[in-house]
Amino acid sequence: MNDKFKKGFDTICIKDDSVYAPTSHTTPIFASSTFIYESAEKAMDVFRGNEEAFIYGRWNHPNVELVENKLTQLECYAIDDLKAQGYLFSTGMAAIAALFNSVLKTGDTIIAQGNIYGTTVELLNTIIQERGVQVIYTDLDNLEALRELAKASKSLKLIYAETPSNPTINAYDLAAIATIAHECNALMAVDNTFATPYLQQPFAQGVDLIVHSTTKFLNGHGTALGGFLVGRDIDFMKQQVWKQRKLQGAMLAPFDAWLLNQGLKTLSLRMDRHVENARLVAMYLETHTAVNKVNYLGFETHPQHAIALKQMREFGGVISFELKGGLEAGIRLMNRVQLCTLTASLGTADTLIQHPASMTHFNVPKAQREQFGIGDGLIRLSVGLEYIGDIISDLEQGLA
């Protein structure tokens, strides 16, 4: 990783703004549901919006403001003249719901890839469709077909991508897809959870809105849920998205924001190790006789290797693979591993293993799973920060 990039980026991650508690070295947890005023006049001014101050914990609070300022700066870091506005939410799904709720109205269309996080698919297939929004899944890799589909779609408002994708580890060309969205007067949004702004900055590719599950790499330790939505259109963010958070109440709690801030301080150190360990595990699995296929963007043979090279700084810390023995062999492996933890999340310091078809993507219709490469034999591995020899030994004994 380029040292010049790291220098400023790491400082944003680490340095807390002291305005929150001028005499405290680290930012305290503001365990307060509401905030006080020195006079009735001041309270009136604040409520009327004439003066900025904290009002009520569901609206905003110091722990959230500190981290959303940092994350906004990180997504914009070193991109000339870019300004954006970001908001934290109680979970990644709350941030994704706020995005869909603020952009999509009855009669509108959204185009998304089919291989995205299972609960995002469930949200689109239920609440969003029930509202009368048309949801079209397609392969975002086929740009000509996408352009035709986008042009033919009635009231297209949003193209939604997740890259790298969960759990198939595909990469999609953000700049090209954003261009297509803009040609159709639609917005382009991306779930940047797998990459984090350290490995990929979608704003630099022309994307309009970025969502994160901060539960993953940004927190980094599996200690708290959280979500983040940031957009270039500051007025839209301050009116539509802010309204979603304030009125629907999906606010991140002070302690969870504080935990996120602690994790964020070591983001680049952790990501460097995740990336390196994932590379070594992918290389190990690729040559293993029990393994059929490894999905890892760093392989030159990966169909989207060139796209990943173009828009990512490194190839990420999550891989997926299929065993020759299919699902049965996958279950055997998950039951035999001792160091790798069998659980549904990703992006934590420890290595996590799971079976998407029966766990994270269980609620995606089987036909959609199969169409978009989420086969019954696919295993997802979020490669952690442990000593690499120990991770590989565990997989070795699990596959023996």
Ligand X SMILES: Cc1ncc(COP(=O)(O)O)c(C=O)c1O
Tell me which residues touch ligand X (CB under 6 A): 91-93, 117, 119, 162, 166, 191, 193, 213, 215, 225, 227
In whole angstroms, the minimum distance from the beta carbon of 154 to ligand X comes to 27
Q: Which of 163, 165, 167 is nearest to 176 (CA)?
A: 163
- When the beta carbons of 73 and 193 are compared against ligand X, the nearer one is 193
In whole angstroms, the minimum distance from the beta carbon of 152 to ligand X comes to 28
Cα-only R_g, the chain: 21
- When the beta carbons of 91 and 109 are compared against ligand X, the nearer one is 91
In whole angstroms, the minimum distance from the beta carbon of 81 to ligand X comes to 29
Sheet containing 318-323: which strands, arranged edge to edge? 291-295, 318-323, 378-382, 352-354, 341-342
- When the beta carbons of 228 and 398 are compared against ligand X, the nearer one is 228
Q: Residue 46 is encoded by which pair of tokens?
A: 């604040």
In whole angstroms, the minimum distance from the beta carbon of 95 to ligand X comes to 8
Are 114 and 139 within 8 A, CB to CB?
Answer: yes
- When the beta carbons of 57 and 316 are compared against ligand X, the nearer one is 316
Strand partners, 321: 294, 379
- When the beta carbons of 212 and 232 are compared against ligand X, the nearer one is 212
Q: Which of 347, 5, 4 is nearest to 201 (CA)?
A: 5
- Going from the C-alpha of 132 to that of each of 104, 124, 187, 281, the distances in angstroms are 10, 11, 19, 44
- When the beta carbons of 119 and 244 are compared against ligand X, the nearer one is 119
Residues 6 or more apart from 123 whose CB is under 8 A from it?
93, 96, 97, 100
Residue of minimal Cβ distance to ligand X: 92
- When the beta carbons of 89 and 203 are compared against ligand X, the nearer one is 89
In whole angstroms, the minimum distance from the beta carbon of 97 to ligand X comes to 9
In whole angstroms, the minimum distance from the beta carbon of 88 to ligand X comes to 11
In whole angstroms, the minimum distance from the beta carbon of 93 to ligand X comes to 4
- When the beta carbons of 347 and 398 are compared against ligand X, the nearer one is 347
- When the beta carbons of 9 and 194 are compared against ligand X, the nearer one is 194
In whole angstroms, the minimum distance from the beta carbon of 90 to ligand X comes to 8
In whole angstroms, the minimum distance from the beta carbon of 334 to ligand X comes to 18
- When the beta carbons of 191 and 314 are compared against ligand X, the nearer one is 191
In whole angstroms, the minimum distance from the beta carbon of 191 to ligand X comes to 5
